[in-house]
Structure 1
Amino acid sequence: MIDGAAVSGAPLLRLLAWLSPAFPLGGFSYSGGLERAAHDGFVRDADGLQAWLAAGLAHGFLWNDAVLLAASHGTDALDDIAALAEALAGSRERHGETMALGSAFMGAASAWPSPVLERLPDPVALPVAFGAVAAAHGIGIEAACQGYLHAQVSQAISAAIRLSLSGQVAGLRVLSALEASILDTGARAAAASLEDLGACTFRADIAALRHETQHSRLFRS
C-alpha cells in the first residue's frame, strides 16, 4: 500500500483514468444542486462559484464524501459504510446521483479486475466504491481523497460553465484558487473517522431539494 499522498506507476495511471472526465460515469449529467442555486441567484458568477465550492469542501457534502471514501479504504465493513452513505443522501436527486455514479464506476472499473468489486453492494454510493477500489489497487488514502475531491470540484466548474456562471478561464482560476482547500480537506478526511461526518450547508441542501421540482433544467440534479 502506498502511504500518504504519494502515488506513482500503475496506481497513478489508474487514479488518473478513474478521475478523468472521459471515464464513463455520466457525471456530466449532474450539478449537485448548483443549477438550482444559479436559478435562485445564490451563485451568480465565478466568485460566487468559488465560495459555494469552498463551503462544500469545508462543511458540505464534499467533506462527507471524502470521509466516507476514507472510511471505505481498506475496510471489511463495506456493507455498513455503504448503508450509511446511502442514508446520508439528503434528497432524492442526491441519492440518485451518488448511487447511479457509484454503480457506473463499479462497472467501468471492472476493466481492472479485483475481488473487492464482488464485496461491494450494487448499487453503492460513489465515494464508497471509489475508496474501496482505490485501496484494492494500492492507491494511498490521502491521494484517493484529494484526487476524488479535485475531480468533483472540476465537474462542478464544468457544470457552472454550461450554466453560464463562468467562462473557461475564470473557471480554471477557481480551480487554481481551491487547490489548497482540496489538499487540506483530503488530508483531514484521510485522518478522520465516521464520527467526523456532518454538514451545515443548508442553502446547498435546499437547492438540491428544490431542483427536484424545477421545470426547465439542463442537469439531473
Structure 2
Amino acid sequence: MSTTLLLLADGRFPAGGHAHSGGLEAAVTAGRVRDLDDLDAFLRGRLATVGLVSAAFAAAACAGGDIHTLEAGLDARTLSPALRKASRAQGRALLRAGRTLWTLPTAERELHHPVALGVVAAAAGLTPAEAALTAAYGTVTGPASAAVRLLGLDPYATHALVARLAPDCDAVAARAATVDDLPACSAPLLDIGAETHATWEVRLFAS
C-alpha cells in the first residue's frame, strides 16, 4: 500500500474533514442512531450509497475524467443544497491542503469533495483504485469519529467497528474503480437530515 495513500486518508490530514459528521449529527438528534449497532447500520448504508458514488467519482477524476462533466454529475446526484455546500467546502479545503504538498492543476471553480479528492490523488501519484479506496474509507471514518463525540461511544469499540467494515470498503472501492457508468445511489434520509441540520443555530459539526 502506498504511503501517500495513507497520508491522504489520514484523518489528521488538514483538509477540514474533522468539522463534518457525514450526516451523523442529524441522525443522532432524530433518534435513528443511538448506539454502536445503530452506528454500524448507518455506516453500512452510507458506504453502500454515498460511499460508492464518492469513490466512483474520485476514481474517475483521478483517471483524468472531464472535471466539468463530473461536477455536473455530482450536482445532479446531490439533491440537498446543504450537502452540495458541504461537499464544496470540503473540496475547497482539500485542494488547499493538496496544493501545499503537490502540484495541482488550476481548477476553474470550486470542486465537490470526491472530484477534488481525485484531482489531488492524481497529483500525488495515486491510481484511480487508490483514490476510490481513500474515498470509501473516508465515508465511514468521518462519521465514526464524530460518533465518539456525539454519543460518547467507546473509541476502541468504534474503531473495531471500522475495522470490521474494511472488507466492505475494499469491495466498494473495487467496484467504484471499474464501473462503466457512474453510479447514482441515493440516501434520502441524509438529504432530509442535511437540510434540517443546516437550520440549527447550535451544532457540533458543519454537516
Residue 115 (structure 2) aligns with = 128
Q: Secondary structure at the match of 2:89?
A: helix
Change (3 A) 1:167 1:141: same
Structure 1 CA distance for aligned equivalents of residues 23 and 166 of structure 2: 22
Residue 184 (structure 2) aligns with = 198
Structure 2 CA distance for aligned equivalents of residues 200 and 129 of structure 1: 21
Deviation string, structure 1 residues 44-70 (Cα, Å, up to 9, x no partner): 111111111101111x22211111112
Structure 1 CA distance for aligned equivalents of residues 108 and 154 of structure 2: 39
Deviation string, structure 1 residues 121-179 (Cα, Å, up to 9, x no partner): 33101111111221233212222211222133111111111101522012112101211
1:26-175 to structure 2, matched below 5 A, reads: 26-58=16-48, 60-114=49-103, 116-118=104-106, 120-164=107-151, 166-175=153-162
Q: Secondary structure at the match of 2:31?
A: coil
Deviation string, structure 1 residues 72-124 (Cα, Å, up to 9, x no partner): 1222511221232234323232112110111111111112332x422x33310
Structure 2 CA distance for aligned equivalents of residues 185 and 110 of structure 1: 28
**Contact 2:50/2:139 (<8 A) preserved:** no
Letter of the aligned partner of 1:63 in structure 2?
L
Letter of the aligned partner of 1:213 in structure 2?
T
Structure 2 CA distance for aligned equivalents of residues 98 and 152 of structure 1: 12
**Contact 1:93/1:220 (<8 A) preserved:** no
**Contact 2:74/2:112 (<8 A) preserved:** yes
- Stretches of structure 2 that go unaligned for 5 or more consecutive residues are none
Root mean square deviation, CA, Å: 1.8
- Stretches of structure 1 that go unaligned for 5 or more consecutive residues are 1-6
| TM-score, length of structure 1 as denominator length | 0.85
* Alignment length (residue pairs): 207
Deviation string, structure 1 residues 3-40 (Cα, Å, up to 9, x no partner): xxxx4xxxx23222222222211111111221111111
**Contact 1:46/1:165 (<8 A) preserved:** no
Percent identity of equivalent pairs: 30
Letter of the aligned partner of 2:83 in structure 1?
R
Q: Secondary structure at the match of 2:117?
A: helix
**Contact 2:22/2:139 (<8 A) preserved:** no
Residue 3 (structure 1) aligns with = none
Structure 2 CA distance for aligned equivalents of residues 77 and 201 of structure 1: 25
Structure 1 CA distance for aligned equivalents of residues 102 and 156 of structure 2: 38
| TM-score, length of structure 2 as denominator length | 0.91
Letter of the aligned partner of 2:32 in structure 1?
F
Change (3 A) 1:215 1:19: same
